[in-house]
Amino acid sequence: MSIRPIDVARTDGGPQWVEAVATPEGVEVWWDEPRPHEGGRRCVVRRLPDGSRADVLPPGWNARNRLIEYGGRSWRPLPGGGLVFTNWSDQRLHRLDAPGSPDETAQPVALTPEGPARYGDLYLPPGRDEVWAVRETDDVRDLVAVPLDGGPVRVVARTHHFLMNPRLSPDGARIAWIGWNHPDMPWDGTELCVASLSPDGVAGPHQVVAGGPEESVAQAEWRDADSLYAVTDPTGWWNVHVVHLDGSPSRNLTPMELEFGAAAWKPGLTCLAPAGEHLVVVYGTADHRRLGVLDPATGGLREIGGEEHTYWASTVSAAGGRAAAVGATPYTPLEVTLVDLATGGHEVVSAPKPLPDRALLPTPEAVTIEGVHAHLYPPAGVAGPAPYAIFVHGGPTGNTPVVLDLEIAYFTSRGIGVAVVNYGGSTGYGRAYRERLRHRWGVVDVQDCAKVARGLVQLGRADAARIAIRGGSAGGWTTVAALVHSDVFAGGVAHYAITDPESWAAETHDFESRYLDGLVGPLPETRQRYTDRSPLLNAARASGPCLMLHGLEDAIVDVSQAERFTAELDKHGKQWALLTFAGEQHGWRREETIVAALEAELAFYGLIFDLETPGVPPLTLKGRA
C-alpha cells in the first residue's frame, strides 16, 4: 500500500491562528483552517465549551489577506460570538455578527471602503469599540483603527516602512508596536516603539525601547503600564525579556540557547501569551519545539507540551487557566489543542483528519552531517542504497520542523527516501546559524544540501546515482542553483522558484525587494555575485533534468522566472518540463493542484530514477535526453 495524493491534499496545511476566549460556561477556542476541497479558502471555526464545533464563516468567504503578500493575522473573535476578519477576494475588513438563532445565517458587513488597501495583523484594543490593523496601500503602511460600526478609518501611527504588533497598554494611555525599514528584514533588525495615545486615539511621538539594526524584536506584550515583555535577540537567541519604560536595564527571563520567537513572515505570529502572572511560551529548536509555562518572577520554565509532540506552531493564546495552541507529532498532523496550565492535560479540539495506516508513515531521525542539520525519512521496503530526494525549505529564513508530512510519506511509501535539510541560514538554531547565509545565498545552501547528499551515500543509505533535489520558492532557488553549481543531483523539482536573483529583486513585491542585500549583496556593487550564482545565466551547466511548477497568480515570484529558465535549459539541450496552475498563488491551496503537482513530481522521479510509477499520469520531458 502507498499514500494516495488525495490523502496528502486533504491533510495539507494546518490551523494558522488560534484564540482562547473565557466565558461563564468555560473556554471557547477559535481557529482558522485550510479547506483545499473548498477552493483553498481559510475558514474560521469556533469550538464551544460543550465540545460542539461550527464554521463561523459562511461558504464563499475566505479569511486571508495579502499584507506583505504572505498575509498577516486575519481575524479576531468579537464578544458575543461575532467576528471581524479580512476577506481574500476584496481585501477589506468585514464584521460578522453572531446569528440571532440557530436557523439564522448572518452575512458579513464591510467595515472598510473599496480600494487598493490591504489590512492585516488584526488586534482588538481592550475598552475600545474598534479593531486595530496594519494597513498597506501602494507599499505605504500605517497602523489604523477601524470602528466596528463601520465609521471612518483613523490613522493611529505611521513611522516605519513596515509595521506590526500594535498593542494598547493596560491603562489605555500608551501604544506599542514594532517597526523596521529597508534594507532590513524583520529577523535582521526591528525597533520596539512606545508612544502616548491621545484622547482621540492617535499616537504621539514615539521612543524606541528595544531593538535596533542588529537586534530583532519578534513580539511584544504589555506586562503592566510601565513595562513590556519582548521576544528579542541581543544575545543571538530570541529570548523573553522585560523591557522597562523608565530607562532601567532590560532583563532576560530565559537566558538559554533556545528560540522563543520566530521569523515574522506573517505579522501577527505569537510565541508568547500572557496568562495571569505567568506566560505561555513556544520555544526550542527546529528539531524540537516545545510548549511551556514561564514564571517571570523566578525564571522557572515548565513544559506542558507533552513528550509525544515534536512541534508547536507560532500561535498561542491563553484564557481561563488554559492555553490554545497548535501542535503536531511525526505521526499526527497540526491540531488545535487546549492545554490545562495547571495539570498539563491535553484536549484536541479541532476535527480529526483521516490518516493512513501508521505502518505507511516513516519514522524521522534528526541528524547533523558536517555541521548541517537534517531530518531523515527512510524509504519503505528498500534494503541497501535507495533513491533519495533532498527536500529544501523556502524562506530561506525558515525551517522545516519534525511533524507529520504526508507529502514526504507519499514518496517514502513508494520507496523514495527523503532528507529534509535545514541548511545554514535556517531559523531555529540561533542568529549565528542564520547568518551563515549572509551574502552567501546560492553557495552555503547548495553546499549544505550537497554535504547531506554525500553523507547519505557514505552512510550506505542513498544511491549516489539516484539523488534528486526539490524545494519551493527559496527552496526552488536552491534546487536549480544546486543543479547548475554542483554535480551531485540527478535532477531537480522546483516549485514556484526564483531562477535569476537580479531580475527577481527588481520585479518582486516590496517586502522582499531588499532581501537580497543581505543574502547576496547590495546592487550594483555586488552585481558579479548575482551573475555568477544565477541559475538562469548558468543553465548550460545543469547536471540533470528539471521539473518546474508555478502558479499563474504568483505575486512573489512571477511565472516568467520559470519560463525564462526552462527556455535556457532548452537552448542548451537540457531536459525539462514546466507545469503552470491557474488560480494559484505562491504555494498550492486547491485540492486538484496538490494532487496534480504530487503526481507530476512522482512521474519525474520515475523517469530519472528508472522507477515504475503506476497510477499517475505520464510526464514528458522536453529537450534532448
- Asked if pLDDT for residue 145 goes beyond 90, the answer is yes
Phi, psi of 164 (to 5 degrees): -165, 175
Q: What is the mean pLDDT of residues 374-390?
A: 94
Q: Residue 587 has what DSSP assignment?
A: B
Per residue in 7-51, pLDDT (tens digit) is: 888 877 789 999 999 999 999 999 999 998 898 899 999 999 999
- 157 has a pLDDT exceeding 70: yes
User: pLDDT band at residue 384, thresholds of 50, 70 and 90?
Assistant: confident
Query: Stretch 424-428: mean pLDDT, rounded?
Result: 97
What's the mean per-residue pLDDT of the chain? Answer: 95
Say what the pLDDT of residue 354 is: 86
Task: Identify the pLDDT of residue 535.
Answer: 97
Q: What pLDDT does 102 receive?
A: 62
Report the candidate in 515, 435, 492, 486 with the shortest Cα–Cα distance to residue 186: 515
Residue 204: pLDDT over 60: yes
Per-residue pLDDT averaged across 556-583, rounded?
96
Mean pLDDT of 482-489: 97
Query: First vs last Cα of the chain: how many Å apart?
Result: 32
d(CA 292, CA 273): 11
The whole-number pLDDT of residue 7 equals: 87
- How high is the pLDDT of residue 194? 98
Q: What is the pLDDT of residues 271-293, one digit of tens each?
A: 999 999 999 999 999 999 999 99
CA dist 495 and 564 (Å) reads 15
Q: What cell numbers appear for 446 in the block?
A: 547548495
d(CA 259, CA 288): 11
Residue type, 355: L
d(CA 331, CA 214): 38
pLDDT confidence band for 247 (50 / 70 / 90): confident
Return the pLDDT at 383. 82
Q: Is the pLDDT of residue 101 over 60?
A: no
Confidence of residue 103 (pLDDT cuts 50, 70, 90): low
Predicted confidence (pLDDT) at residue 316 exceeds the cutoff of 90:
yes
Give the type of residue at 64: R
The confidence score (pLDDT) of residue 10 equals 80
Sheet architecture: strand order including 109-110: 75-78, 82-86, 93-96, 109-110
Mean pLDDT, residues 364-393 taken together: 95
The whole-number pLDDT of residue 100 equals 63
Per DSSP, 249 falls in state P
DSSP state letters, 333-398: EEEEEEEETTT--EEE-SPPPP---GGGSPPPEEEEETTEEEEEEPPTT--SSEEEEEEE-SSSS-
Question: What is the pLDDT at residue 36?
Answer: 86
Length of the chain: 625
pLDDT of residue 459: 95
What is the residue whose three cell numbers read 496550565?
Answer: 341
